[in-house]
Structures are given as C-alpha cells and as structure tokens.
Amino acid sequence: MTQTIGFIGLGNMGGRMTRCITGKGIEVIGFDAHTPNIAGAGATPAISAGDVADRADIVFLSLPDSKIVEAVVYGEDGLLAHARAGQTIVDLSTAAPESTRKIAAALAEKGADYLDAGISGGAAAAERGELTLMIGGDEAALDRVRPAMEHFATNLFFMGASGAGHTTKLLNNFLNAVALSATSEVMVAGRRAGLDMDALLGVLNTSSGVNFATLNRFPKIVHGDYLKGGLTNSLMMKDVLLYTELIAGLGVAGLHASGPLASFGAGIATGRAGEISNTVVDVIGDLSGGIRVHGSEEQA
C-alpha cells in the first residue's frame, strides 16, 4: 500500500531530503515557516503542521531543536491534535531524548508511532541521498517507513527504544565537535609553524591523528572552501550543550566538553553564530593573531 509522505521543516537539511524524494516523482506534502522553501524542495504546499498530519501517513520533521519540535507537536494546529491511528511521525531533528520520549508517549495515546531518527553525513550526503540514520522507537514502525527513509539515507541503524536515536546522535555530534575544534587548533598551529597545509593533512590522514575533519573538511578548507550549507556554530554549540545535559543525567564524567564549548562559544561571541561550524578555524586563527590556514604565506 502506498503511503503519503509529509515533511515539516524544509530548510538546509529538510529541503535536501525532500528533494531526494520529490526528485523521484513522489509527492511530498510540505510545510515550512519560510514559505519559499516549500517550492524550493518541490513539495506540495500545506497551510500548517496540522494540515500535513491530516494529509500524510508518514510525517518527517527536520527542525532546529526540541523547543521548536514541541511547538509543532503540541501547538493548537499541531501534530498531536491531528494525529491518528496507524500514522508514523519521524523526527529527524537533533533533540533532547527526554523530550522525545514524552512526545512518543503522547502520540501513542492517539495510536500514532513516533520515531526519533538522528541524521549524520551533512549537507553533501543529504544532497546525494546518502545519509546515515540512527533510529529509536518501535522497530515494527521503522519497518513500515523504511522504504520512505531509503530515498535519502543509505545506512539505517535501529538503536533501541524511544530516545535511543537522539541519544546516539548527541554522542556522535559531540565527537564531531571535538574533532572539528581540535583539528582547527592543530591546523592553525601548523600554519603558524610554517608547515604546508596539504602535506600536514597527508601526514594526519595516514597517522593516528586522522578523523572526520582531517579527511572530509580540511582538504577543502585549506583551499578556501568552507563547505557552506552545513551545521552552524550556534547549532553545534546547542548539540554540545545537549550532550553535557545527557551525560550529567547518566552520571558520566564529562571531561572533554570544555574545548568545543570554548571554540564554538567564541565563534558565537564574535558574530559567527549563523556561519557554518567549519569557520571555527578562523575563530581560533583570529584569537591567534589573524592566522588563516588558506591563502598566501604572508597571511600567516
């Protein structure tokens, strides 16, 4: 049986995921607070989140944080008011697991399933339809919506009960934040020391310092391409803070959050909140005397 797909939140990531679906000739009922995003994603316009819920069997959410997710779910014309038995709502946002579990329980009373599906891979993977999803909730519900997810994701991992997907996402994003901020510092230091940036990356990527940032970010950044379109400094900071709240609740010692909190916090404080998080290398460079890891040697 064909299931109608809805999508709420058609911005940086949601728009790309939706285009992966509509690009195959499949209709998506879409809603976004910024109306032009709907047409940009090739979606059929809805007038509200509730309208999407009324018209779609599967509803995907791609929203900035738990506060906005809760507004979309609990609002007067929100998903909870319109949810029905047999419907599946999939939250692709990065959200607080505790909030996720409460929403899942509320929707279950209406007979609807709520899956939390953290995403990884960034804008480039979203564009190609090759995202990784880490999913929490009812596994049978996941099986029902898996074909719709596979339009924009190639790796789907079932992580356990409600909240497990978003918990996994926070763990992953924290490591991403550590790698990006620490690698930025190392690259600035290497530039100041007069090292060739490509040669330094060659060493790191064949040695024990290798990480996602050295492999996928800095080969572009050292040539002036900041890969715009990904996670911003403010969203990275939000994710790190959610991680610290998570491990505090788990009773786990948090010994490594200070670095990314300082780095992305400095980016926000210096006016780069809305810029891609890769610009944290320039934040560290500015604090180190105006160093840039790309461009002529005179800049160093």
Catalytic residue positions, numbered: 169
CB-hemisphere CA count at 13 Å for 177?
30
Are the C-beta atoms of 59 and 9 separated by less than 8 Å?
A: no
- The stretches of 75-209 forming alpha helices (DSSP H) are 79-82, 97-108, 122-128, 139-149, 164-192, 197-204
Q: Which residue has the tokens 């940009």?
A: 40
CA distance 221 to 235: 20
Dihedral (C-alpha) 267, 268, 272, 277: value to the nearest 10 degrees? 60
Return the number of other C-beta atoms located less than 10 Å from residue 95's C-beta. 27
